[in-house]
Amino acid sequence: MSVLLEVNDLHVRYGSYEAVKGVSFALAKGEILGIVGESGSGKSTIAKTLMGLQKASGGTILFARDRNVASPLRGVVPSMQMIFQDAVGSLNPRMTVRQTLGEIIEFSNRRIIESRRSGTRPLTRRERIQAFDNSIIRLLDLVGLSSAVLDQYPREMSGGQCQRVSIARALACQPEILIADEPVSALDVSVQARVLNLLRDLRRDLGLSILLIAHDLAVVKNVCDRICVMEKGRFVDCGAAAEVFEHPTSDYTKRLLAAVPRIS
């Protein structure tokens, strides 16, 4: 399997406080890797550092492009996107779904329109609008939303719908890697399952690699191929999901597992 992302001995400091203390992992193409740990363990700090929003104080982050994937945007936009924990808050309250997704689509459509220029005739205004709407509807379809939400504002949608729009917005850039920072913690259990299934489907259909961050082991259990358990800035357990669940090595993971509610 080809490795798309390799992190070696990553350290991140906020002033004198070291939030990430030497973390290493790799993410392969089409893999879902879970990072689990309690609040304050450093999970979001890793995500922010990967996205370039926070500076690493040590270690290396290496990216590889998947050369087998043909994308018209390759080399133009970053191949990694992040979806944020607070889906409603991460969307602009003054923008409809059409505007939110359109902003990004416009960029990719301009390239399609330009490539058509070399053809027989330029697209008419009507054709351009149609191509624009079709691209947005295709994206909504990917995340299981209908075109009925096109003209809705975030406040007019449910938390689960907003989360799907924020996933669609991330997918609009055709990323190879999706970082999902607590994508379901604000949602109720049945909507959680649907959004997690969606991530699994996207991996299957688009070959996406996903870094799934959660504080709840139950959330990652059925979705991730591998899991890294994080405690106070370090990984204390890492391995195939089933292995970590059946044979945890650290006391911390055992305590987290004991806290997972069981239905008997």
Ligand X SMILES: Nc1ncnc2c1ncn2[C@@H]1O[C@H](COP(=O)(O)OP(=O)(O)OP(=O)(O)O)[C@@H](O)[C@H]1O
Binding mask 26-45 for ligand X (x = CB under 6 A): -----------x-xxxxxxx
| Nearest by Cα to 186 from 48, 251, 91 | 91
Residue 75 CA to residue 52 CA, distance in Å, equals 17
Q: Are 21 and 233 in contact (CB under 8 A)?
A: yes
**Least spacing, CB of residue 209 vs Mg ion, in Å:** 20
Q: From CA 212, how far away is CA 228, in angstroms rounded? A: 10
* For ligand X, the closer CB: 30 or 233: 233
Q: How far is the CB of 47 from ligand X (least distance, A)?
A: 8
Q: Cβ of residue 232: shortest distance to ligand X, in angstroms?
A: 9
Dist CA 196 CA 176 (whole Å): 18
Residue 39 contact partner, candidates Mg ion, ligand X, none, CB within 5 to 8 A by sort of partner: ligand X
| Nearer CB in complex with Mg ion: 35/149 | 35
- Pairing outcome for strands 32-36 and 209-214: parallel
Contacting range for Mg ion; rule: CB under 5 A; set: 26-34, 44-52, 69-77, 148-156: 44-52
Nearest to 233 by CA among 40, 48, 26: 40
| 89 interacts with ligand X by CB under 6 A | no
Binding site for ligand X (CB under 6 A): 14, 17, 19, 37, 39-45, 215
